[in-house]
Amino acid sequence: MNDITHLVKSALAELVGTFFLTLAALVSGTPYVVGLTLGVFVYAIGALSGCNLNPAVSLGLMATRRLPIAIGLIYIAVQIAGAGLALAAATLTGHLAAHYAAASPLAEFLGFGLLMLTVVAVSDKNVPQAGSGIAIGGALAAGLVISRGILNPAVALAMGLVLSPATWATLFSGICFGFLYKLYEPKEKPAEEDAKQDLQRLPFDQMRSVPRAK
């Protein structure tokens, strides 16, 4: 797969993922459904695009040099487009959640910070791959419960909350908590990586343990 094809597929994955994440937020209005949706897409498209589905996540990864700027900007554009399409689809269903709204600046900042720390941990492979979706989905659900906010600028824009804290406070939070993670980033590899290395060394260890013919 060449770079252009991979970029197109990654951007499409971000569009589709943000569409369903926003749809879950607008229709359900509950943090658990939104967190579950994000967790599902981490497994579905994480290996392809990284499953950002949030401009604040993309900005935080760009600021800490975990995501190329050009790709990050494309991701942000398609995330906003996906959220807009989700609003149109949710409106057609006629079941918008009326109580889904932005929180205070501090609440949005801290709530999103919990998600960003988890995203960076997964991005740096300090979380076993099998638990990545559970970790990120759970972090979003917890952040939404703590903040009672939106925690996603794309969703906020789709709802017409252009100048709300859900737009700018989360962007600022993505940068701050992305750098904060570096202060306590684990230096040792997770147990899953160690286990893989042990399995890779096993055949060689077995070969050394086989008695040589005399």
Half-sphere exposure in the Cβ direction for 149 (13 Å, CA)? 29
pLDDT of residue 152: 96
Tokens 């638990």 found at: 131
- 3-state class (DSSP) for residue 72: helix
pLDDT of residue 67: 95
Q: Where are the alpha helices (DSSP H) in 94-190?
A: 105-123, 132-147, 153-158, 165-184
Show pLDDT as tens, one digit a residue, over the chain (214 residues).
588 899 999 999 999 999 999 999 998 878 999 999 999 999 999 999 999 999 999 999 999 999 999 999 999 999 999 999 999 998 887 777 766 678 999 999 999 999 999 999 999 888 888 899 999 999 999 999 999 999 999 999 988 899 999 999 999 999 999 999 988 877 665 554 444 444 444 333 433 344 444 4
Does domain 3-187 sit in CATH 1.10.150.20? no
Residue 129 CA to residue 133 CA, distance in Å, equals 8
- Which of 86, 85, 63, 68 shows the shortest CA–CA distance to 10? 68
pLDDT of residue 159: 87
pLDDT of residue 186: 74
- Domains of the chain, by residue range, sit at 3-187
Its pTM stands at: 0.84
Residue 141 CA to residue 155 CA, distance in Å, equals 15
pLDDT of residue 145: 94
Residue 164 CA to residue 141 CA, distance in Å, equals 20
pLDDT of residue 188: 64
pLDDT of residue 93: 79
